[in-house]
Structure 1
Amino acid sequence: MIAEEGRGPAEGVDSVLAALADSTRRQLLDVLAAQGEATATTLAERLPISRQAVVKHLAVLGAAGLVSGARVGREVRYAVRPAALDAAARWMATLAADWDRRLATIKRLAEAAEREES
Structure 2
Amino acid sequence: MLEALGDATRRTIFELLAAGPRSVAQIAGDLPVSRPAVSQHLKVLKDAGLVSSTAMGTRRLYALDPRGLAAIRGYFDQFWNQAMVAFAQAAENPPEEKT
TM-score (norm 1): 0.69
* The one of 95, 98, 107 aligned to 2:82: 98
One-letter identity of the residue aligned with 1:55: S
Equivalent position of 1:72 in the other structure: 56
Equivalent position of 1:20 in the other structure: 5
In the alignment, does 2:37 pair up with 1:53?
A: yes
One-letter identity of the residue aligned with 1:93: D
Q: Which has the higher helix share?
A: 1
TM-superposed CA distance for 1:73, in Å, is 2.1
Partner-residue secondary structure (3-state), 1:85: helix
Runs of 5+ unmatched residues, structure 1: 1-14
Runs of 5+ unmatched residues, structure 2: none
Q: Percent identity?
A: 36
Name the CA distance, whole Å, in 2 between partners of 1:101 and 1:49: 44
Name the CA distance, whole Å, in 1 between partners of 2:85 and 2:23: 45
Count of residue pairs the alignment pairs up: 98
TM-score (norm 2): 0.80
One-letter identity of the residue aligned with 1:66: L
Equivalent position of 2:71 in the other structure: 87
One-letter identity of the residue aligned with 2:80: A
In the alignment, does 2:32 pair up with 1:63?
A: no
Name the CA distance, whole Å, in 2 between partners of 1:101 and 1:32: 34
